[in-house]
């Protein structure tokens, strides 16, 4: 029983962590929390659903096409929603993301309707494997673990060694200095939104496979992923994933012992940790100098 609690907790936690990474990437570059992140993932998942249902393409092809769409969607929102904002404050930009969230949700309701749908996903939650006696993993969990690890490694290499990754970090630290150094800050923002949208779309597909697909299905996972990101530290990508894993474990253990308290226990823990470490468990606390 305890093994299943751990594996299930880690699996959903990894999914929170993966989605939290999508939130953290935009935050790392622009200090903006994108409240439309969940709905961006939702729209991308609906696009996969649409491709599968309408055109009957194989899943891998639908997945690739959706990833292209997700990148486009992220860049589109940055270009047409965020960039036109005149003399934007961080709060103003956050409000714009809220507007984008409502727009995307309305769009999905109009196009695909509010009735719940089954999202066909190749990694089944019903097919289980037992790699080590006692350790039961379903295909969905194996997929989440593998993909989260892969994305983590790729992001680490990208931010550490690629010019674009370094430019993104520089932009977050000081936009003006980055400009002076020849970095095209606007392009960095567009790329950031595209990358974040892509990672968010992958995580959203995993969430849809575990529950149902409807225009609201990402609201609650977004809140949990955001909480996980805050717990781990919004500026530390490994921290966000570890925050997600911790959240999943805390919820599952407390949920087993005291089911009534499950929905709030994680948030209580977060409040306690943030009181002690305001930047989260793994992020370095820094103050921007004016």
Partner 1 sequence: MKGTRSTVFWLMALCVALLLPVQGHAGAPGFDKKEIRIAQWGPQTGPAAPWGSVARGSDLIFKMVNEEGGIHGRKIKYFIRDDQYNPAQTKAVVKELVERRGIFAFVGGVGAACGMAVKDYLAENKVVWVGPSTAINEYVFPVSPYLFGIYPLYDDEASVLAKYVVENLKAQKIGFFYQNDSYGKSGLEGCKKRLATYNMSLVEEISVEPGEKDLSSQMLRLKNSGAEVVFLWVNPTSATIALKTCATIGFKPQWVSSNTLSDFPLMNTITGGLWEGVITGGFGVPPDSDHPLIVKYREAAKKYAPEERCGTFYLAGVLFAEPLIDALQRVGPDLSTEAFLDALNTTKDYQGIGPKITWTPEVHQGTDSIQIQQCGPKGSYILLQDWVQNDLATWK
Q: Is 39 in the site for partner 1 (CB under 8 A)?
A: no
Q: What contacts 64, CB < 8 A, 6 or more positions away?
A: none
Interface with partner 1: number of residues (CB under 8 A): 42
Q: Is 145 in the site for partner 1 (CB under 8 A)?
A: no
CA separation, residue 26 to residues 19, 36, 201, 231 (Å): 12, 12, 14, 17
Q: Which of 35, 254 has the CB closer to partner 1? A: 254
Q: Is 122 in the site for partner 1 (CB under 8 A)?
A: no
Q: Is 273 in the site for partner 1 (CB under 8 A)?
A: no
Q: What contacts 52, CB < 8 A, 6 or more positions away?
A: 59, 62, 120
- Residue 12 near residue 224, CB atoms below 8 Å: no
**Helix (H, G, I), strand (E, B), or coil: what is residue 285?**
coil
Tell me the closest approach of the beta carbon of residue 247 to partner 1, in angstroms: 10
Q: Which of residues 42-81 bind partner 1 (CB under 8 A)?
A: none
Of 24-32, 118-126, 173-181, 187-195, which part binds partner 1 (CB under 8 A)? 118-126
Can you point out the beta strands (E) in the chain? 128-132, 135-138
Tell me the closest approach of the beta carbon of residue 255 to partner 1, in angstroms: 3
Of 8-16, 24-32, 167-175, 189-197, which part binds partner 1 (CB under 8 A)? 8-16
Q: Is 144 in the site for partner 1 (CB under 8 A)?
A: no
Q: What contacts 179, CB < 8 A, 6 or more positions away?
A: 185
Q: Which of 128, 153 has the CB closer to partner 1? A: 128
- State the Cα–Cα distance between residues 15 and 36, nearest whole angstrom: 18
Q: Is 138 in the site for partner 1 (CB under 8 A)?
A: yes
- The residues that bridge with 135 in the sheet, in sequence order, are 132
Tokens at residue 84, please?
A: 């036109």
- Which of 146, 150, 219, 272 touches partner 1 by CB under 8 A? 219
**Helix (H, G, I), strand (E, B), or coil: what is residue 132?**
strand
- Which of 200, 244, 248, 280 touches partner 1 by CB under 8 A? 248
Residues that bind partner 1 (CB under 8 A): 1, 4-5, 8-9, 12, 109, 113-118, 125-126, 128, 136, 138, 140, 207, 210-212, 214-217, 219-221, 224, 248, 251-256, 259-260, 262-263
């Amino acid at each position: 029983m305890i093994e299943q609690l751990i594996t299930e907790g880690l699996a959903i936690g990894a999914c929170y962590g993966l989605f939290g990474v999508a939130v953290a990437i935009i935050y790392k570059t622009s200090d903006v929390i994108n409240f439309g992140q969940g709905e961006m993932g939702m729209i991308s998942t609906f696009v996969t659903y649409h491709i599968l249902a309408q055109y009957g393409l194989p899943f891998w092809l639908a997945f690739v096409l959706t990833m292209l769409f997700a990148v486009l969607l992220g860049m589109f929102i940055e270009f047409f929603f965020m960039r036109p904002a005149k003399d934007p404050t961080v709060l103003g930009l956050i409000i714009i993301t809220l507007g984008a969230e409502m727009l995307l949700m309305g769009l999905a309701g109009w196009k695909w309707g509010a009735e719940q749908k089954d999202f066909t996903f190749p990694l089944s939650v019903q097919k289980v494997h037992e790699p080590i006696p006692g350790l039961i993993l379903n295909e969905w969990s194996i997929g989440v673990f593998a993909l989260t690890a892969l994305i983590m490694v790729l992001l680490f290499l990208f931010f550490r060694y690629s010019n674009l990754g370094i430019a993104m970090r520089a932009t977050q630290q000081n936009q003006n200095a980055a400009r002076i150094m020849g970095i095209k800050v606007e392009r960095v923002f567009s790329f950031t939104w595209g990358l974040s949208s892509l990672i968010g779309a992958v995580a959203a597909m995993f969430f849809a496979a575990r529950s149902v697909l409807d225009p609201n299905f990402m609201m609650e996972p977004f809140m949990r992923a955001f909480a996980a990101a805050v717990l781990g530290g919004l500026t530390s990508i490994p921290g966000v994933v570890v925050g997600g894993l911790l959240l999943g474990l805390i919820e599952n253990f407390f949920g087993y012992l005291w089911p009534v308290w499950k929905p709030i226990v994680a948030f209580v823990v977060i409040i306690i940790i943030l009181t002690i470490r305001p930047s989260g468990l793994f992020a370095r606390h820094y103050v921007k100098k004016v």
